[in-house]
Chains A and B, each alone.
Chain A
């Protein structure tokens, strides 16, 4: 991310989280790659920076797994673009990954929050 200017207030994505973000973004409707990147960035209130190269490789990976499908179409400003949409399999995965992530972040939260408290207390 050498091209990044103000990387202080942006966070590089954790391994594996990008897939989830893509699935979530596409759950809102089909979209092209550039739109997905923008949406992720915008909805995270510009906290996440999406490396575009990795994004396209991730899209390809998800497409290979048949979680998303792609086809060439025309963008709102009349450019030819590749549009991605969620498949049924992708939708299942989204549900699963979402709950997985929620459990993970809850556990993380518990640990991080409890570190202020005295030790020895079991939750």
Chain B
């Protein structure tokens, strides 16, 4: 069928022989040697042209045949558009979902950092920070003296690079007059050269840039595209970060968006020492920046293992340097203190991604694979059903002399057409879904499908095409040429109709469907539990935004916020306004042990002394809608000159002041500073995230604390909370035209970000469960409808000999209910297994949640009944006379 009959070479050989034979003959007729050869050649005509015609003839025939087959396949598909559309859509959904999830998995878990030789890069980690230090992360951040010591050691790691964001979220930048926000990092001078990130435009940083704290910046390719439309004139542009002018000197390579998980860095600047550009956007602590403050462990470190050195050797070299540097500025370690231990971890992929997304993504991948399996088997069943009814056609063609290979060729071409159409649709669907996934998961790094994803999809498509071509062949050929001579529908179709394969497939699908429904159900119930957790805050009507005024003097800062609050209160529709240091629901908090009445409180059986604190403005609890149980809220009258006041929550009172009236007691931080008198006790409510457990909390009044820096403004308004933002922005810019509103959100949305991963995961799982149900329903419907069709004659006979319509309907329903029962029996243990792996993703629900299982079982039963209803109805309406007469 596919073999090429004769090579062009063989043909050329034959022509050569001809010329020789002809010359021989001419010579024997008396011509001279040369003349004979010349004449033979002349007589032949154009040799080259003949060879070309031979070649083209073969090619053209093959092409022509292919076209004919394609046309035939297309025509036969168009004859049953219902089948074609169902098969193509099923395939598109199944493959599209897989491609989308695989894209995300590829980008998040499989792709390496976009740097040169990522295998030799390592992240630095510490077992713990020394005592008396503050950290951003207990294991991942280091102090400047540690960084300085490590980068000056020789060998081991070369270079050691530091990077630290300019803000916990986004930082205020300004081009010309327009304030905006962007994500920026301060990095070592060796950052770009050490990582091996190229700069297609401009230059990177040098070590002098770091030493001189040069006011220059490199922007990311993505930011260059998004913000500047890839304008090449951007080099040399000056922009202002927190009011500090910086010149853009380079654009980083496409795809490089920093070495931190999740976020995408817009610009990088060399390490700075100005107070406006302190690490994490923090205000100075006792006038010290991150460089001069050895107690603040805030820098992330990444290093490259020097060539010819193993990781173990590098670590051995670094360990003493690290343990020595860890105590710079802290005095010597206390007796028996656990010294911090340095470790190196693989930096091939983004750290943290695996932790956050790994398990959910793997589960999702398993889910979409099941969906794909259902989709593929569905199409196979559809094809088998369709081809069984075409048995007559195939038999006829066999009888007329078509080879089995011809039939196979045709089936393959038809499946190729279905798969091509489905695949094209799937790719479009996947592109859309990937973008949605990326947005929901807040993964800003590039998720665009790359070569790996394309290969993955193509592999799935090829498997599908072969499967679809080969699986129905058996049925198609089962008839043999003899069948064409038989006329009875009953005889010609009964064998295929009883095919056990079909039943097995339906049971498998049902089992998978149960698993998907249980998984989806568990996660959706988790989602409901999460969204129904009482926050203790009346979130409706609340809107929050950040501000970062460039103010250094404390009274000036207090005056700024006082003025702002007064002016915002005057806006129409505003009920109340307050401010806070850490935005609630954002995952940030200040945590430390607090002194109560001047000493560390005694706690029962070793419970934690940790208190989460926040700095708040007047009307804080009234604005949030948190009930004050005793005492009062903060008020405008609490000022720098009035008595210092603090407020605590129920947990605080219960744990540290049990059975006492907390009002009038004092609290202070762990160094005994900022002593405040408790004036109020409020009801427990959520601070960092929706799913946190209650914990002791305490609040300070902002006007009584040396705080000048960034604050979050919270407003309670009537109507749509976001509608107040333009008016609020106008007021802010009247006070300072440099200030953008940072991350304005409704408070509800802000809390939701703390469970956004769970939300996304649950929604996706629910969606895939639903998709599975729809696919199973169409598959079952198709199979049953086809079986009823082939049993028309049988049903006719049954009815003719006295079967009632109810009995016929029951016969069909029983069939599908039995299949469902078998599917459930296989599905439940599988679902239990899946539930077990899901356990860590569940909230307020057990993996063996009876309701989820019941819903799943009822779900498949309903689907089975619904899918059987139409075929059963059709069976019941069979007219016995007509059914028999057609025989």
Contact surface of A with B, Cβ cutoff 8 Å? 1, 3, 32-35, 37-38, 51-54, 56-57, 60, 63-64, 75, 77, 79-82
Contact = CB atoms under 8 A, between A and B. Distances in A.
Contacts of A79: 17, 20-21, 24
Nearest to A77: B24
A50 B54 CA distance: 17
A13 to B, nearest CB: 14
Contacts of B35: none
B779 to A, nearest CB: 45
B489 to A, nearest CB: 38
B18 A60 contact: no
B247 interface: no
B15 interface: yes
8 contacts: A3-B42, A32-B21, A33-B18, A34-B17, A52-B45, A52-B50, A53-B50, A60-B57
Contacts of B13: 82
B49 interface: yes
A72 to B, nearest CB: 9
Given A32-B18, A57-B54, A81-B21, 12 more contacts: A3-B45, A32-B21, A33-B18, A34-B25, A51-B45, A56-B50, A56-B54, A57-B50, A63-B5, A64-B5, A77-B21, A82-B17
Interface in B1-38: 5-6, 11, 13-15, 17-18, 20-22, 24-25
Interface string B535-570: 000000000000000000000000000000000000
Contacts of B136: none
Contact residues of A: prevailing secondary structure: helix
A1 B21 contact: no
Interface string B42-69: 1111110110011001000000000000
Contacts of B49: 53
Given A32-B21, A34-B22, A57-B57, A82 B44 contact: no
Contacts of A56: 11, 14-15, 18, 50, 54
A60 B11 CA distance: 9
B31 to A, nearest CB: 14
A57 B17 contact: no
A53 B17 contact: no
A81 B17 contact: yes
Contacts of A81: 14, 17, 21
Among B6, B42, B45, B46: residue with most chain A CB under 10 A: B45
A53 B21 contact: no
Interface residues of B, number: 24
A53 B47 contact: yes
Contacts of A35: 21
Contact of A60 (B6, B22, B42): B6
Nearest to B23: A34
A44 B45 CA distance: 21
A35 B15 CA distance: 13
A57 B53 contact: yes
B10 to A, nearest CB: 8
Nearest to A35: B21
A75 B18 CA distance: 11
A51 B18 CA distance: 13
B18 A52 contact: yes
B569 to A, nearest CB: 94
A3 B43 contact: yes
Contacts of B18: 32-34, 37, 52, 56
A77 B27 CA distance: 13
A52 B14 contact: no
Contact of B45 (A38, A53, A60): A53
A33 B54 CA distance: 15
Contacts of B17: 32-34, 75, 79-82
B46 A53 contact: yes
A54 B45 CA distance: 10
Nearest to B47: A53
A1 B43 CA distance: 9
A1 B54 contact: no
A101 B667 CA distance: 120
A50 to B, nearest CB: 10
Contacts of A75: 17, 21
Contacts of A77: 21, 24
Contacts of A37: 18
Contact of B25 (A3, A38, A51): A38
B65 to A, nearest CB: 12
Contacts of B50: 52-54, 56-57
A3 B42 CA distance: 6
Contacts of B22: 34
Contact of A33 (B6, B14, B43, B53): B14
A42 B46 CA distance: 23
B57 to A, nearest CB: 7
B28 to A, nearest CB: 9
Nearest to A75: B21
A3 B40 CA distance: 11
A39 B50 CA distance: 21
A3 B15 CA distance: 17
Contacts of A1: 45
Contacts of B45: 1, 3, 51-53
Contacts of B6: 60, 63
A32 B19 CA distance: 12
A60 B51 CA distance: 12
A60 B25 contact: no
A6 to B, nearest CB: 13
Contacts of A63: 5-6
A60 B54 contact: yes
A90 to B, nearest CB: 17
Contacts of A3: 42-43, 45
A52 B21 contact: no
Interface string B673-706: 0000000000000000000000000000000000
B5 to A, nearest CB: 7
A58 B683 CA distance: 100
Nearest to A78: B24
Contacts of B11: 56, 60
B556 to A, nearest CB: 96
A82 B24 CA distance: 16
Closest 5 A-B residue pairs measured CB to CB? A53-B50, A34-B21, A52-B44, A34-B18, A81-B17
Interface in B603-646: none
A34 B19 CA distance: 8
A43 B25 CA distance: 17
B493 to A, nearest CB: 37
Contacts of B57: 57, 60
A56 B16 CA distance: 12
A80 B49 CA distance: 23
A34 to B, nearest CB: 4
A103 B42 CA distance: 36
B7 to A, nearest CB: 12
B304 to A, nearest CB: 66
Nearest to B19: A34
A38 B29 CA distance: 13
A65 to B, nearest CB: 11
A76 to B, nearest CB: 10
Among B14, B22, B45, B46: residue with most chain A CB under 10 A: B14
Nearest to A41: B43
B56 to A, nearest CB: 10
A81 B14 CA distance: 7
A81 B21 CA distance: 9
Nearest to A64: B5
B13 to A, nearest CB: 8
Contacts of B15: 56
A64 to B, nearest CB: 7
A47 B654 CA distance: 123
Contacts of A57: 50, 53-54, 57
Contacts of B5: 63-64
Contact of B43 (A32, A52, A80): A52
A80 B21 CA distance: 10
A34 B44 CA distance: 10
